[in-house]
């Protein structure tokens, strides 16, 4: 392998995973300690590192697609993920769901007619998982129900925070990474966003994510729970 080819392969390998050693914004001190659900952010970050390489999007020549389910105070949403458009962000979301990162977190910022933002372990928009993702901007438009990555002014600063689009937002296109869309429960997005009064982005009584799970598309929840039931059997 030539030096040029080696350099290219190194870049491609690096792009397959987030920079776990790079702080999200604000500084790492904001991403350690315990989250809103009482779990250690550092421990969950370590588990994400373990899970990351096990998440595949192709097996035996066939695509493996994933559906996330957010069980919230306002109802249940199903979100189809877009690995072909934003593989890093999809892997990240799947891994965070699997380690229970989002359980108990709230939609801390809601703007009717625009979007609902969640995924902050501190519940105020200042926290993150302790690592950053490279941007994966794509051509998917920010229509109602789109799942997109929240970030700072730095394009490569996305971590765990995300937002669900309430109404078409063309100014976000190609500026934020889209990586999924709500396929069931669009009315839930309406309820979450409308908890905030216009002119006040912070809901007095924010919607909470009770449980966030992910399954392979086509796999039923019952089938997924069978192994757990067997383990609990005497």
Q: Which residue carries 């989002």 as its tokens?
A: 102
Q: Answer whether 86's CB lies under 8 Å from 177's CB.
A: yes
pTM of the predicted model as reported, rounded to 2 decimal places: 0.82
The predicted pLDDT at position 42 comes to: 83
5-12 — which CB contacts under 8 Å span 24+ positions?
A: none
Query: What is the Cα–Cα distance from 13 to 8, expressed in whole angstroms?
Result: 9
Q: Answer whether 94's CB lies under 8 Å from 52's CB.
A: no
pLDDT interval class at 38 (50, 70, 90) = confident
**Phi, psi dihedral angles at 44 (to 5 degrees):** -65, -35
The predicted pLDDT at position 197 comes to: 84
Judged by phi (left if over 0) then psi (alpha if -120 to 50, else beta), residue 75 lies in left
Q: What is the pLDDT of residues 132-180, one digit of tens each?
A: 899 999 999 999 999 999 999 999 999 999 999 999 999 999 999 999 9
Query: What is the Cα–Cα distance from 13 to 218, expressed in whole angstroms?
Result: 30
Domains in the chain, CATH or no CATH each: 37-217 (2.40.100.10)
């Amino acid at each position: 392998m030539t030096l040029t080819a080696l350099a290219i392969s190194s870049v491609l390998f690096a792009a397959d995973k987030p920079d776990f050693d790079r702080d999200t914004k604000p500084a790492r001190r904001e991403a350690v300690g315990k989250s809103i659900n009482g779990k250690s952010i550092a421990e969950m970050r370590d588990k994400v590192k373990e899970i990351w390489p096990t998440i595949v999007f192709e097996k035996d020549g066939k695509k493996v697609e994933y559906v996330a389910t957010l069980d919230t105070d306002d109802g249940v949403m199903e979100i189809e993920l877009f690995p072909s458009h934003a593989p890093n962000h999809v892997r990240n979301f799947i891994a965070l769901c699997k380690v229970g990162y989002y359980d108990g977190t709230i939609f801390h910022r809601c703007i009717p007619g625009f979007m609902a933002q969640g995924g902050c372990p501190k519940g105020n928009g200042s926290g993150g998982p302790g690592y950053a993702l490279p941007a994966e901007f794509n051509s998917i438009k920010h229509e109602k129900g789109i799942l997109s990555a929240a970030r700072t002014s730095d394009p490569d600063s996305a971590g765990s925070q995300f937002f669900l689009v309430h109404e078409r937002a063309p100014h976000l296109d190609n500026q934020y990474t889209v990586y999924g869309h709500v396929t069931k429960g669009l009315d839930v997005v309406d309820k979450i966003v409308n908890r905030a009064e216009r002119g006040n982005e912070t809901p007095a009584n924010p919607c909470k994510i009770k449980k966030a799970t992910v399954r392979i598309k086509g796999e039923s929840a019952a089938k997924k729970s069978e192994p757990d039931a067997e383990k609990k059997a005497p």
